[in-house]
Chains A and B, each alone.
Chain A
Amino acid sequence: MAATQITDNDTTPEPVDSAAEAADRQVQAADAIEEPQSFPVTVIVRRYDPEIDDEPRWVDYDVQMFATERILDALHRIKWEQDPSLAFRRSCAHGVCGSDAMRINGKNRLACKALVKDFDTSKPIYVEAIKGLPLEKDLIVDMEPFFDSFREIQPFLQATGKPEKERHQTIAQRERFDDTTKCILCAACTTSCPVFWTDGQYFGPAAIVNAHRFIFDSRDEASQVRLDILNDREGVWRCRTTFNCTDACPRGIQVTKAIAEVKQAMMTGVKL
């Protein structure tokens, strides 16, 4: 590799040569891999159009897929090449907008983060809408009840006084609620929760995660208000710690832990 010169302006750390060479070898080995091949996959989608169907029906589709493609790609292939009436939500296609949570082989996932290679494609892949929210059409549910719960926990910073610049916060204080700031409101957690399935009034994990984000923010002054809201009959105490939510979360948020911390805060006060 070419020698690199460190000049006065160069503020970028340089890797030591041996590491770079090792990476090179690794990369060249990877380059030798042959062309990937596509293969047929059967995707069975639970379709429902209330204008036509009395009740949902499962429909089979055969699509040609590459192992590294997303289930979202499979749905697009169905929509764009076989049946354009298939309805589902999506936008970013890489797991950051929260549009396409769905039940894939019985587990809540984002279709854009579930790759074909994660599944045993000798068997069909089943795709259906998330459970517990009113089904509107095919893979689309009514998200309003979900967002209503979110809005109810007062999901905005409440702090008095207007500082001249930024409010200060230490790295450790910021770290305290880092995990729950990652939420993209996809509803994968809430709609995987057995308590929510049987009791749609339950706030659900996502709302609690977002309450946690503010309760443990050192700048916020309304923690007690949110704790009172969640102390309600339909609040945190309904959680039965089944961990479905944590398993479902595409952002890797420790949802069950966040709920436990909120419960803890109700009993012993907030530790920031």
Chain B
Amino acid sequence: MADQSSVTDGIHYHQHDVVIVGAGGAGMRAAIESAPKASTAVITKLYPTRSHTGAAQGGMAAALANVEEDSNEWHTYDTVKGGDYLTDQDSAEILTREAIDAVYDLENMGLPFNRTPEGKIDQRRFGGHTRDHGKAPVRRACYAADRTGHMILQTLYQNCVKHGVQFFNEFYVLDLVMAEIDGVKRVSGVVAYELATGEIHVFQGKSVIFATGGFGKIYKTTSNAHTLTGDGVGIVWRKGLPLEDMEFYQFHPTGLAGLGILLTEGARGEGAILRNASGERFMERYAPTIKDLAPRDIVARSMVQEVLDGRGAGPHKDYVYLDCTHLGAEVLETKLPDITEFARTYLGVDPVTERVPVYPTAHYAMGGIPTNNDAEVLADNETVVPGLYAAGECACVSVHGANRLGTNSLLDINVFGKRAGNNAVAYAQTADFVDLPADAADGVVKLLAQLREGTGTENVAEIRKALQETMDRNAQVFRTDETLQTALADIAVLRTRYPNVRIHDRGRRFNTDLLEAVELGFLLDLAEIVVVSAINRKESRGAHMRDDYPTRDDENYMQHTMAYRTAGDIGLPQEIRLDWKPVRFTHYEPQERKY
């Protein structure tokens, strides 16, 4: 086992067999597999329990059939159909098959799931999860009140404590070190910035797992944390590795209007109903069979359509209502206590007696770092980067296709987090360390110096706000070539302003001013890829709804987008090359998607 550290020229060097970047659900699930078998370091910009997995509310899908008949195969079908047939079907089969053990693993580790009267794990309904290929909603989501993500994050952290996992808390990974050996790009380690001291640390690892979560902060109205700035995805991108399906960004139907704070779909799973200004249950018109429990892309679109057609509620007619009033105080207080409190605290609305104003909120990245089913990162459609893994929201396997089903992400982080951990250890047990180049830390040192010593007058917060506003306006639920071109032009201008940002905090300790500037750089890169990929996909599929191309076009677009960076250092225009990657099919022929 390797586990060493030293300091040279003011830079700290560490060596671990497995280096995991990120301590959310995916990162810690991986660590639980790897730490008992190999020297493992988990590097995280947040204290593990602050990770956004903890914000997840509604549940984790698995066909346990604890409360009614269910099967993996139904779950696979729903996942494929929910993803508008862009889901890789072999990957979805793995996801739903391993779901069962993933839930039992968590329970065995201590997760306090809600229980059935017989003492088994209870299950609830969720959007798009159905009995026998779409016949009716099925109870598949395992849950712990409406804090399932909190309980997953706590349970995984508790088990990391049990296994003595070594964490580097509040260390920001800013670069990936790779070396080319015999013409093959291999991973050598990562470079991190320690928030408390401003010092640079190089972590050499035989294998490296990225588990850095999503990038909701490219949007203004989002359910995502301030810290979800897509650093890991951006780092991999800047290394010349591709990103997959970036145009598919999910908007969750029920964000608190104006704020974006999430109210779980589990509320509708328990029976809550969406209504427009006149009180009509409008989902009956859009999805006659499963209504409010249609998948998110469909519900979000229907809500926006209601508002566009003048049926929105409120002084500006710009939201609809989530009606929980018929559920009763008992259900709300015991099964949905947190969201009940969110509505009370942040909108001053009591869901027990009042309808809650809601509107879609930017929620989840279906796209990200392409991996195969073993969580190995891909350098193109097939070639793996030896030693490099990705799992969780930052990765794209793709199990979610064009639209993720609710409760399938908490599942994803557990199934593919575990796979990443196991495979990273197996690799580390046979591979050698790849020598660190002498200039391993140079990229980060230069990036930070450039930002820190900048003498410009631009303000980080202003550029970020402008980015988020154009993304909300132009690359949201409905898109057209025109709106997307507007976003692209806006981003180009913001990119030229970015190198002139001024960092006011010149200190070394807890310099969050500096880090926010670094994070903004990732946001700008990623937003542009989202928009460029969206312009290129001239069809509507899943979460990507093009008003100018309103139908799905399987002939031309039944394939994943692969984006490659061909140029674009800080302040320079990015050059993005787009390519395609075939979808993997097993049993399911693409069909029109009706609910």
Query: Besides the contacts A27-B321, A97-B54, what 17 more A-B pairs have beta carbons closer than 8 Å?
Result: A1-B279, A16-B326, A20-B325, A49-B507, A80-B461, A88-B512, A94-B55, A94-B342, A115-B345, A155-B161, A157-B108, A159-B108, A166-B108, A171-B116, A173-B119, A178-B112, A217-B110
A24 touches B461 (CB 8 A): no
A151:B355 contact, CB within 8 angstroms: no
Give 1 or 0 for each of B502-521: 1 = CB within 8 Å of chain A CB: 01110111111100100000
Q: In the docked arrangement, what's the CA distance between A112 and B112, Å?
A: 27
Partner-contacting stretch, out of A181-189, A194-202, A258-266: A181-189
The answer on a CB contact under 8 Å between A167 and B107 is yes
Residues of chain B within 8 A of A87, CB atoms compared: 505, 510-512
Q: What separation, in Å, do the CA atoms of A107 and B461 have in the docked complex?
A: 29
Q: Is the CB of B326 within 8 A of A171?
A: no
User: Does any Cβ of B come within 8 Å of A136's Cβ?
Assistant: yes
Is the CB of B10 closer than 8 A to any CB of chain A? no
- Is B50 a contact partner of A33 (Cβ separation < 8 A)? no
Give chain B nearest CB distance to A222 CB in angstroms.
11
Chain B residues touching A, range: 35 or more
Question: Chain B 38-49 against A: per-residue CB contact (8 Å), 1 yes, 0 no?
Answer: 000000001101
B159, A84: Cβ atoms under 8 Å?
no
Please, what's the 1-or-0 string for A87-105, where 1 marks a CB less than 8 Å from any CB in chain B?
A: 1111111111111000000
Quick one: which of A9, A97, A171 contacts B290, CB cutoff 8 A?
A9
Q: Give the complex CA separation of A4 and B285 in angstroms.
A: 11
Interchain CB contact under 8 A, B326 and A19: yes
Q: Cα distance A140–B345 when bound, in Å?
A: 25
| A230, chain B: closest CB distance, angstroms | 17
Q: Determine if B507 and A156 form an interchain contact, defined as CB atoms under 8 angstroms apart.
A: no
Q: Does B115 contact A (CB under 8 A)?
A: yes
What DSSP secondary structure best describes chain A's contact surface?
loop
- Interface-forming stretch among B72-80, B143-151, B537-545, B577-585? B143-151
In the complex, chain A residues 39-82 whose Cβ is within 8 Å of any chain B Cβ: 49-52, 68, 79-81
Please tell me if B500 contacts chain A, counting CB pairs below 8 Å.
no
Tell me whether B121 is interfacial, beta carbon within 8 Å. Answer: yes
1/0 contact string of A154-173 vs chain B (CB within 8 Å): 01110100110111111101
Is B354 within 8 A of A27, CB to CB? Answer: yes
In the assembled complex, B493 has its CB within 8 A of some CB on chain A = no
Q: From residue A66, how far is it (CB to closest CB) to chain B in Å?
A: 10
- Distance in Å: Cβ of B146 to nearest Cβ of chain A: 11
Task: State whether A83 touches B504 (Cβ < 8 A).
Answer: yes
Contact across chains for A155 and B158 when beta carbons are under 8 A apart: yes
Residue of A nearest to B139 (CB): A11
Q: Is the CB of A177 closer than 8 A to any CB of chain B?
A: yes
Among A80, A90, A220: residue with most chain B CB under 10 A: A80
Top-6 shortest CB links A-B: A157-B110, A15-B326, A80-B461, A168-B119, A1-B279, A85-B505
Given A2-B281, A174-B115, A182-B147, A167 and B108 contact (CB-CB distance below 8 Å):
yes
| Given known A-B contacts A157-B109, A168-B118, A97 and B49 have beta carbons under 8 A apart | yes
Q: In the complex, what distance in Å separates the CA atom of A184 from the CA atom of B149?
A: 12
The yes or no answer to A12 lying at the interface (CB within 8 A) is: yes
Q: CB < 8 Å: which of A23, A84, A219 contacts B503?
A: A84
> Does A31 have its Cβ within 8 Å of any Cβ on chain B?
yes
**Contact indicator A184/B161 (Cβ below 8 Å):** no
Known contacts A23-B323, A99-B46, A185-B49; is-contact A84 B505 (Cβ 8 Å): yes
Query: In the complex the two chains form, is A12's CB within 8 Å of B273's CB?
Result: yes
Return the CB mask of B426-458 against A: 1 if under 8 Å, else 0. 000000000000000000000000000000000
Given that A23-B353, A99-B46, A137-B509 are contacting pairs, would A84 and B504 also be in contact in the complex, using a CB cutoff of 8 Å? Answer: yes
In the complex, are the beta carbons of B46 and A169 less than 8 A apart?
no
Binding site for B on A (CB under 8 A): 1-2, 4-5, 7-16, 19-21, 23-24, 26-27, 30-33, 35, 49-52, 68, 79-81, 83-85, 87-99, 113, 115, 136-138, 140, 143, 147, 151, 155-157, 159, 162-163, 165-171, 173-174, 177-178, 181-185, 214, 217, 219-220
Contacts of B226 in A (CB 8 A): 90-93
Inside 8 A of A31's CB, which chain B residues have their CB?
A: 313-315
B326 near A143 (CB under 8 angstroms)?
no
Q: C-beta contact mask, B255-280 vs A, less than 8 Å → 1, else 0?
A: 00000010000000001010100111
Nearest neighbor of B326 in chain A, beta-carbon distance: A15
Closest Cβ of chain A: how far from B270's Cβ, in Å? 9
CA distance A24 to B346 in the complex (A): 21
A96 to B150: give the CA distance in the assembly, Å. 8
Which residue of chain B is the closest to A90 with respect to CB atoms? B226
Q: Is the CB of B52 closer than 8 A to any CB of chain A?
A: yes
CA distance A130 to B307 in the complex (A): 44
Give, as a whole number of angstroms, the nearest-CB distance from A48 to chain B: 10
Q: How far is the CA of A31 from the CA of B112 in the complex (A)?
A: 41
Q: Is the CB of A140 within 8 A of B326?
A: no
Residues of the A chain whose Cβ atoms lie less than 8 Å from the Cβ of B147: 96, 182
Which residue of chain B is the closest to A143 with respect to CB atoms?
Answer: B47
Please report the C-alpha to C-alpha distance between residue A97 and residue B261 in the assembled complex, in whole angstroms: 13
> A161 vs B135: C-alpha distance in the bound complex, in angstroms?
40
Indicate if B490 sits at the interface (CB-CB under 8 A).
no
Tell me whether A10 and B225 are in contact (CB under 8 A): no
Please, could you name 23 A-B residue pairs with CB atoms under 8 Å apart, sorted by A? A1-B280, A2-B284, A12-B273, A14-B326, A19-B326, A23-B354, A49-B507, A68-B347, A79-B512, A91-B46, A93-B226, A93-B261, A94-B261, A94-B346, A98-B49, A155-B158, A166-B104, A166-B107, A167-B108, A168-B118, A217-B112, A219-B110, A220-B110
B137 within 8 A of partner (CB): yes
Given A11-B136, A136-B509, A151 contacting B161 (CB threshold 8 A): yes
Residues of B within 8 A of A23 (CB): 279, 323, 325, 353-355
Instruction: Determine whether the beta carbon of A169 is less than 8 Å from that of B115.
Output: yes
- For the complex formed, measure the closest distance between the CB of B46 and the CB atoms of chain A, giving whole angstroms: 6
Residues of B within 8 A of A19 (CB): 325-326
List of B residues within 8 angstroms of A185 by Cβ: 49
Q: Measured between alpha carbons, how far is A9 from B150 in the docked complex, in Å?
A: 32
Residues on A with C-beta less than 8 A from B345 are 95, 113, 115
Partner among A12, A30, A88, A174 whose Cβ is within 8 Å of the Cβ of B271: A12
Interface assignment of B183: CB less than 8 Å from any CB of chain A: no
Whole-angstrom CA separation of A151 from B136 in the bound complex: 45
Closest B residue by C-beta to A180: B112
Report the minimal beta-carbon distance from B159 to chain A, rounded to whole angstroms. Answer: 6
**Is the pair B280, A166 in contact by a Cβ cutoff of 8 Å?**
no
Query: In whole angstroms, how far apart are the Cα atoms of A11 and B118 in the complex?
Result: 23
A100 CB to closest chain B CB (Å) equals: 10
Are A26 and B281 in contact (CB-based, < 8 A)? no
Residues in B with CB closer than 8 Å to A147 are: 47
B113 at the interface (CB under 8 A from A): yes
In angstroms, Cα B169 to Cα A258, docked, is 29
- List chain A residues, Cβ under 8 A from B326: 13-16, 19-20
- CB-contact partner of A166 in B113, B154, B225, B227, under 8 A: B113
Query: Chain B residues near A52 (CB, 8 Å)?
Result: 507
Are B355 and A27 in contact (CB-based, < 8 A)? yes
Chain A residue numbers with a CB within 8 Å of B302 are none
